[in-house]
A and B are shown apart, each in its own frame.
Chain A
Amino acid sequence: AQSVTQPDIHITVSEGASLELRCNYSYGATPYLFWYVQSPGQGLQLLLKYFSGDTLVQGIKGFEAEFKRSQSSFNLRKPSVHWSDAAEYFCAVGDTGGFKTIFGAGTRLFVKA
């Protein structure tokens, strides 16, 4: 069965510093991969997605993610974090054979001044 692991429950970075959030997945075929962001008290918003093609995908708000098949990873990066990026981030994998999306447990990002 497919699964998603986000090893870091929370991460704290300084404003202006770079960010990398880790995501590992388990899936038999090439998966559909997503990163969503959830601001406090809000629903989830899609940051970016990977279906096929270029393994480096660009998203909104200056985020990017790289699909590495050999490592079963889809890490999210941002070169310079802003205080408004403080939120919870979810990695997810879509079941290409069905209609289900499996979410990771999430990583909460804290940004310090």
Chain B
Amino acid sequence: NAGVTQTPKFQVLKTGQSMTLQCAQDMNHEYMSWYRQDPGMGLRLIHYSVGAGITDQGEVPNGYNVSRSTTEDFPLRLLSAAPSQTSVYFCASSWQRDTYEQYFGPGTRLTVT
């Protein structure tokens, strides 16, 4: 199993540009989530999904969209990038929604200039 994969590893955007961060898992996990990691702030939940077709907002959802058309994929879209979205983004998944033992991808480092 590849586990949780994320692409790209690095990305530089200009303010106002849009892009999609890809996340895929091959463990048939129900639950998937997106976090951003900023220095001194730990990980903050952006959006999460408890299954295909079901998504919900986390702690910091503004400026981000998600969809979950399949169990495997959970892309994160930045509609109009802002410098405040410069961060490291992690995707995670877990087998059962009530265990919370999450498996993390390697992260995407995004810089918005």
Chain A positions near chain B (C-beta within 8 angstroms): 4, 9, 32, 34, 36, 41-46, 49, 51, 90, 94, 96, 99-106
* CA of A96 to CA of B16, assembled, Å: 38
* CA of A9 to CA of B42, assembled, Å: 11
Q: In the complex, are the beta carbons of B40 and A34 less than 8 A apart?
A: no
Q: In the complex, are the beta carbons of B48 and A106 less than 8 A apart?
A: no
* CA of A49 to CA of B94, assembled, Å: 14
Q: In the complex, are the beta carbons of A105 and B4 less than 8 A apart?
A: no
Q: Most A CB atoms within 10 A — which of B35, B100, B103?
A: B100
B42, B101, B107: the one within 8 Å of A90 (CB): B42
Q: In the complex, are the beta carbons of A100 and B42 less than 8 A apart?
A: no
* CA of A102 to CA of B45, assembled, Å: 8
